Structure 1
Amino acid sequence: MTARTADLVVIGAGILGTACAWRLAERGLNVLVVEQSSPASGSTGRSAAGVRAQFTTEANIRLSQLSIEEYAAMPESGYRPAGYLMLVPEAQWPMHQAGVALQRRLGVPTEELTPAEAQVHAGFDPAGLGGCTFCATDGFVDPHGLTLEYLRRAREAGAHFLLNTAVTAIRRSEGVWRLTTSAGVIEAPQVLNAAGAWAGEVGRQAGLDIPVQPARRMVFTTGPLAPQRQVPMVFDLASGVWLRSEGERLILGRADPADTGWREGMNWDWLEPTLEAALLRFPWLETADLDRRASWWGYYEVTPDHQAILGRLPGADGWLNACGFSGHGVMQAAAVARVMAQEAVGEVPFIDITPLRFERFEQVVSGAADIQV
């Protein structure tokens, strides 16, 4: 059987894979995207859709900042600058203030607020807080709309998509990657692993150790609120509880650090611990009803330091990663796509992604450097 050929194969058609396909095809590369299901059917489609530039490292700030700017210029993104309010415990406040200073230096309009001043955005119990931050350009988007628009642009630029196509084996031979799929064999000198929660498994098919594993996350949905209240994305750093308005309702969640691996379905046992933590900070939630049918679950793709893995993989010629975002994929997809296109054609990325490269894990093992979190 004659193998199908391409300059670069992207594995995954979520928001990262489709955005990368567009930017790569723009560069004149013959791009083929392989997706085991349909576009945005994995983590992208089940995202809570928040976007924020409130990070503490320059790479993450710029990736999110420039992505949000792109989304704001795309009607298909559904971008809504509803704001993002961070409730910061006393012990974390000095480090958080340093992050705010860096954000402002890079042009992100983050405000420092006292807990009393932050009450205008959302009511909460201020116990134990050192301060709050709010950024009006943070907010949320429509991940489905974005993914389909990136797919359209990628096709228009010449990229091809194989949907509902499983990759069953990957090996390197004579300078090319050979992918065995349910639609036949594909050969390309470069592969971009944008497989989300499946990125670790994709690596293992190629004999590579990509430290990405799935982690299940719950999104609980209330019924319509009475009286109605519009709440920006609020994240309580002390408890890990987050919430925001979704129309007349609220969606909320809290990561369960033990819920890793391929577990499917709603974990209703996690509802009580989530609500207990949420009610301590947001007592007014006691009057809200839960809509079980509107609640959902999805996978995060997590790494040991909860940071993305970007760029070429050392020791694996032609293998690139854009995975492991640990909940930041939708936030950063637009800028990551531009970075990965530069990486693929041998240019220096316009954002320094050194802290997010795979080599940071090797440095930790050797004791040469600390992971940047």
Structure 2
Amino acid sequence: MTHYDALIVGAGIIGAACAYRLAERGLRVGVLEMAPAPAMGSTGKSAAGVRVQFTEATNILLSWYSIQEYQAMPEAAYRPIGYLFLVPDSQWEQHLAGVELQRSLGVPVEVRDLEAAQEWFSFSPIAAGLEAIRGATYGPADGIVDPHGICLAYLRRAREMGALVHTETEFCLAQPTKTGWKVQTPKGWLEARVVINAAGAWAGEVGRRAGLSIPVKPARRMVFCTAPIPQPSWHPLTIDLSSGFWFRPEHDRLIFGRSNPADLGFHEGMDWGWLEPTLEVGLARFPWLEGCNLDQKASWWGYYEVTPDHNPILGWMPGVKGWVNACGFSGHGVQQAAMVGRLMAEEVVDGRACSLNIDALRYERFLEDAKTREKNIV
């Protein structure tokens, strides 16, 4: 029976970052991935945005430290196109409080009035059926990356230090032992001192197969894509906080979307019925979108992994020996993966993450009914 110091479930960007940093610390690392190759789940289907504009310090720093790592990583293909938040009046004061916190942590963020916010394109501050826009914030260090490239780079580095990646190998069952866990796969049993649950949208099911209750559910998300635009221009990834509609440039096209909070569960395929309610609010705010044609074949879907408070679950499972959670990122996994890998290596090797206080994101918050208060959830 093969024995690992750390066995990671999931070869997406979170699992890959954990594998790299744990192998770097000298551990014998294994990675289980049920797909034929890494990064075929949420990582490969991400809209690829990275941002620091959160309202809680832990989220701000998870993203900021990760972005700085991506900046120095050629495989990340980091492009600082920025994030532009259009903020309605009802959210303006809390949003400005978030900017103050971001700046206090050394993060570059600008506050813009309505005129300055329209530097790249026009929008209707007052639109039928939507709350009026009061102003905007812009993060010049926010941008986009190549999640697939990052994931493969981390796994390559992990392999160079001895880690083994088992693709087409499903996590079927796990049983606690005196020294850790015994894990069943279709290819046989494995032993591990520590299991790290980085299974993304499947993290709740992975927990269930180990006899654990982990509050992570899949949520389907649509990414709609336009046909090529005659005169494309680069501009920030833009989010209308009054409706949740977002869009950004993708080469000579635009991609756009809007979360459907009711679309929970493992439902596969494009939900074309969600296109109309998405475009309804998008066109109201950005009338010029009417001149863009949709490319159905270029559009895609993927899963978010959502928790009750839409924030990740990080660290040791309370009362359970040898089980670590790194899951439930609710759409923020790509932008926080680099730092999460470092922190989970500290959690496993040193006994507790020390580079950043992650107590607000530990499992215990659900036991204490102390869910995180992050406001900038899209």
2:123 matched to 1:124?
Answer: yes
- Please say which of residues 254-263 and 174-183 is displaced more in the overlay: 174-183
| Local SS of the residue matching 1:167 | coil
Contact persistence 1:310–1:321 (CA under 8 A): yes
1-structure distance, mates of 2:251, 2:193: 46
2-structure distance, mates of 1:372, 1:276: 29
| Equivalent pairs, count | 367
* Cα displacement string for residues 268-321 of structure 1 (whole angstroms, at most 9, x for unaligned residues): 000000000100111100010000000000000000000000000101111000
2-structure distance, mates of 1:87, 1:122: 12
* Cα displacement string for residues 309-357 of structure 1 (whole angstroms, at most 9, x for unaligned residues): 0000101111000000000000000000001000001144211111111
Code of the aligned partner of 1:122: F
Q: Tell me which of 189, 205, 208 is aligned to 2:209.
A: 205
Percent identity (aligned): 57
Q: Tell me which of 342, 362, 365 is aligned to 2:367.
A: 362
Q: How far 1:188 moved relative to its partner?
A: 0.9
2:291 matched to 1:290?
Answer: no
Q: 1:248 maps to which residue?
A: 252
Alignment of 1:67-82 (within 5 A): 67-82=66-81
Q: 1:11 maps to which residue?
A: 9
2-structure distance, mates of 1:95, 1:159: 45
2:131 matched to 1:133?
Answer: no
1-structure distance, mates of 2:362, 2:373: 11
| Local SS of the residue matching 1:6 | strand
1-structure distance, mates of 2:92, 2:80: 25
Contact persistence 1:14–1:40 (CA under 8 A): yes
Q: 2:129 maps to which residue?
A: none
2:33 matched to 1:35?
Answer: yes
Q: How far 1:370 moved relative to its partner?
A: 5.1
1-structure distance, mates of 2:253, 2:164: 39
Code of the aligned partner of 1:164: E
Q: 1:371 maps to which residue?
A: 372
Q: Which sections of structure 2, spanning at least 5 residues, go unmatched?
A: 127-131
- Please say which of residues 194-203 and 151-160 is displaced more in the overlay: 151-160
2-structure distance, mates of 1:192, 1:80: 31
2-structure distance, mates of 1:134, 1:144: 26
Q: 1:196 maps to which residue?
A: 200
Q: 1:224 maps to which residue?
A: 228
| Local SS of the residue matching 1:252 | strand
Contact persistence 1:4–1:185 (CA under 8 A): yes
Q: Which sections of structure 1, spanning at least 5 residues, go unmatched?
A: none
Contact persistence 1:355–1:372 (CA under 8 A): no
Q: 1:267 maps to which residue?
A: 271
TM-score (norm 2): 0.96
Q: 1:329 maps to which residue?
A: 333
2:356 matched to 1:351?
Answer: yes
Contact persistence 2:309–2:371 (CA under 8 A): no
* Cα displacement string for residues 111-149 of structure 1 (whole angstroms, at most 9, x for unaligned residues): 000121110033211121122000111000011111110
- Please say which of residues 327-336 and 121-130 is displaced more in the overlay: 121-130
1-structure distance, mates of 2:361, 2:277: 32
- Please report the RMSD computed on the Cα atoms of aligned residues, expressed in angstroms: 1.0
Code of the aligned partner of 1:74: M
Contact persistence 2:55–2:98 (CA under 8 A): yes
2-structure distance, mates of 1:12, 1:122: 40
Code of the aligned partner of 1:321: N
2-structure distance, mates of 1:12, 1:348: 21
Contact persistence 1:167–1:179 (CA under 8 A): yes
* Cα displacement string for residues 38-58 of structure 1 (whole angstroms, at most 9, x for unaligned residues): 100000000000000110011
TM-score (norm 1): 0.97
Q: How far 1:363 moved relative to its partner?
A: 0.8
